[in-house]
A and B are shown apart, each in its own frame.
Chain A
Amino acid sequence: MKPRVEVVALDCLMVRLFDEIAEANMPWMLAASESLRAAFAGHLIDLVPSYTTLMVHYDLTALSPAQARALIAEALIDLSPNASTTGKCHVLPVWYDLSVGPELSLLSQRSGLSVDDVIRRHSEREYQVFALGFAPGFAFMGLVEEELAAPRLNTPRKKVAAGSVGIAERQTAAYPVVSPGGWNLIGRTPAKLFDRERDGYSLMQPGDTVRFEAVSHAEFINLGGDDTPLEAQA
């Protein structure tokens, strides 16, 4: 790993750690995040991690671009992947059903697997949270098996229900709030993914791991899920 620092705005620098998405990036990303937060301390406005990069937005009234670069260089000296920064493990209950996950049939056709097998394969793997973005608490997770991978819909839906679980390429995610979206929907979780009353707000953080657990309609309702079919919400 050879980090590069690039100018992206007057008061933002991009720290590029990797060139490819990989599960093995995460211990390095977490270590670099921690180290950058410590180095910038009160002069950090926001640190935006993504798959391979960390964007540092610093206080321009406190630091010049040169000073910010120096802090970054210092923070990344002798960086080593921190084994203790492994994240939490979440189990997200999902009601997999055509009424809330209409692309179950599409994924089944594409893969030649039965709908039950699509569900089984999606829920038996443990996924890593790579990044949060798109909406508060929206976690990009991966990697799903090649057979379940599918491109985004040609025409995104104007309205995707909160809790909807989807697949795009080899990533999977759940929509925290109602929003437009183009992912292939396969089910719905009753879990509250973003909660302004929760410490840390977002259920999932980069570096966490997630497993989906198939639940029955009754369990889904018991857990507070909303089973309104997707079409009825459009």
Chain B
Amino acid sequence: MSRLFIEASTPLCLLQDAGRFGVRHLGVTQGGGLDWRSMSWANWLLGNGLDAPVVEITLGGFTVVAEEDCVLALAGADLGAQVDGEALAPWRSFRLHKGQRLQFTRPLLGARAYLAAPGGFDAPKVLGSSSTVVREELGGLDGMGRPLAKGAQLSYCGSDLILLRELPREQVPDFKPDTPLDVVLGAQIGAFSGQSLFDAFNSVWTLDSRADRMGIRLLGTPLEYQGKPMISEGIPLGAVQVPPDGQPIVLLNDRQTIGGYPRLGALTPLALARLAQCLPGAKVRLRPVVQDVAHRQQVEYLQRFR
């Protein structure tokens, strides 16, 4: 077993995996890494299952020291990672020798970095997953939903006999926010005013600072729902819901399982991965896509992890 000692952390540094499934009918949220694409690449670099537990580091402020020689992989945002003061770029596996310090300083590109270990970091599975959901007191190192804390230890049991590698350049996701975010049209989209539908897909939306793992609010021209008040119903990942103030909220992994605000549809998984890397203040556009096309794109993308 290899160990890392956590020397610094924040409430935004969490153990995550692909999420908690099969229990949403009990009111248990999905959870899981917000940028599933970077998380999957971090695991891929080590030959792990794509759902192995990783550390999700949001914005920085996370430092670990190797207690034995370790092999790790880093993907996602460039949070100014350094090994003993020397810059470490993401999208690669690397060695961290005993006593070496890996530090995440500040966001240079993107918002969330994923640190993976051979076989995944050790953590109990609670209701089938190690994903940390603070609000529900589920997952994480102790199973009680606590963020990774200074003084705790991360360990893994996988083999360190791994060929180090870098993700081929053409596979490295583009974190620039200019590509529009695809929204699968559906839900109550027919009950929004024509003007609102035009505005939704033709105006620029600014990411509000009111953003967490439950959802991200978009600021812009208010959208007007003209339908009847809704009875609460299941909320899919990425749902773009519009509360009475007209400012859409994109619902993320830790969202409530059911809710009663009307929705335009839901972001595609690839759009969600990109949104998860945007910082407050970023400008984004929404682009409509139909379910079949989005489905084909997603299935094609998943082939890359083979």
Closest to A180 in B: B135
Stretch at the interface among A50-58, A94-102, A209-217, A218-226: A50-58
Q: Which residues of B contact A12 (CB under 8 A)?
A: 234, 236, 266
Docked-complex contact A14 and B23, CB < 8 angstroms: no
Interface string of A150-188 (1 = CB under 8 A from B): 000000000000000000000000000101000000000
Cα-based distance from A10 to B299 in the complex (angstroms): 11
Cα-based distance from A206 to B232 in the complex (angstroms): 14
- Distance (whole angstroms) from the CB of B33 to the closest CB of chain A: 16
Q: Count of A residues near B, CB < 8 Å?
A: 45
Stretch at the interface among A84-92, A106-114, A134-142: A134-142
Q: Which residues of B contact A233 (CB under 8 A)?
A: none
- Distance (whole angstroms) from the CB of B203 to the closest CB of chain A: 23
Closest to A48 in B: B234
Q: Is B57 an interface residue (CB 8 A)?
A: no
Q: Is A64 an interface residue (CB 8 A)?
A: yes
- Distance (whole angstroms) from the CB of A179 to the closest CB of chain B: 7
User: How big is the B interface, by class?
Assistant: 35 or more
Q: Is B265 an interface residue (CB 8 A)?
A: yes
Known: A51-B232, A131-B232. A10 touches B268 (CB 8 A): yes
- Interface hub of A8, A137, A202 (most chain B Cβ within 10 A): A8
Interface string of A185-199 (1 = CB under 8 A from B): 000000000101000
Docked-complex contact A11 and B295, CB < 8 angstroms: yes
Docked-complex contact B236 and A57, CB < 8 angstroms: yes
Contact for A8 among B22, B27, B30, B265, CB less than 8 A: B265
Docked-complex contact A132 and B187, CB < 8 angstroms: no
Docked-complex contact A46 and B25, CB < 8 angstroms: yes
Q: Is B185 an interface residue (CB 8 A)?
A: yes
Interface residues of A in 110-137 (CB under 8 A from B): 131-137
Cα-based distance from A57 to B30 in the complex (angstroms): 12
Docked-complex contact A14 and B25, CB < 8 angstroms: no
Docked-complex contact A135 and B239, CB < 8 angstroms: no
Cα-based distance from A47 to B185 in the complex (angstroms): 21
Q: Is B298 an interface residue (CB 8 A)?
A: yes
Cα-based distance from A216 to B301 in the complex (angstroms): 60
Q: Is B292 an interface residue (CB 8 A)?
A: yes
Interface residues of A in 1-34 (CB under 8 A from B): 6-12, 14, 20-21
Q: Which residues of B contact A9 (CB under 8 A)?
A: 184, 186, 236-239, 265-266
Docked-complex contact A55 and B236, CB < 8 angstroms: yes
Known: A6-B186, A51-B231, A131-B232. A136 touches B26 (CB 8 A): yes
Interface string of B5-23 (1 = CB under 8 A from A): 0000000000000000111
Contact for A136 among B136, B231, B266, B292, CB less than 8 A: B136
Q: Which residues of A contact B22 (CB under 8 A)?
A: 45-46
Q: Is A38 an interface residue (CB 8 A)?
A: no
Docked-complex contact A10 and B291, CB < 8 angstroms: yes
Q: Is B215 an interface residue (CB 8 A)?
A: no
Known: A55-B236, A60-B299, A132-B25. A65 touches B291 (CB 8 A): yes
Q: Which residues of B contact A46 (CB under 8 A)?
A: 21-25, 30
Q: Is B263 an interface residue (CB 8 A)?
A: yes
Q: Which residues of A contact B26 (CB under 8 A)?
A: 132, 136-137, 194, 200-202, 205
- Interface hub of B25, B232, B268 (most chain A Cβ within 10 A): B25
Cα-based distance from A205 to B25 in the complex (angstroms): 9
Docked-complex contact B299 and A50, CB < 8 angstroms: no
Cα-based distance from A7 to B23 in the complex (angstroms): 22
Q: Which residues of A contact B27 (CB under 8 A)?
A: 132-138, 202
Cα-based distance from A131 to B257 in the complex (angstroms): 11
Cα-based distance from A10 to B289 in the complex (angstroms): 10
Q: Is A228 an interface residue (CB 8 A)?
A: no
Besides A8-B187, A138-B27, A140-B232, 6 more A-B contacts (Cβ < 8 Å) are A7-B265, A50-B233, A64-B292, A64-B295, A132-B25, A200-B26
Q: Which residues of B come within 8 Å of A, CB atoms?
A: 21-28, 30, 126-127, 135-138, 184-187, 231-239, 256-259, 263, 265-266, 268-269, 291-292, 294-295, 298-299, 302
Closest 9 CB pairs of A and B: A55-B234, A48-B234, A7-B186, A9-B236, A9-B266, A133-B258, A12-B236, A46-B24, A132-B27
Q: Could you list 26 examples of A-B contacts with CB < 8 Å?
A: A6-B186, A7-B265, A8-B234, A8-B266, A9-B186, A9-B239, A10-B184, A10-B268, A12-B234, A14-B233, A46-B30, A47-B24, A48-B24, A50-B231, A51-B232, A51-B233, A55-B233, A61-B302, A133-B27, A134-B257, A135-B136, A136-B26, A136-B28, A138-B27, A196-B127, A201-B26
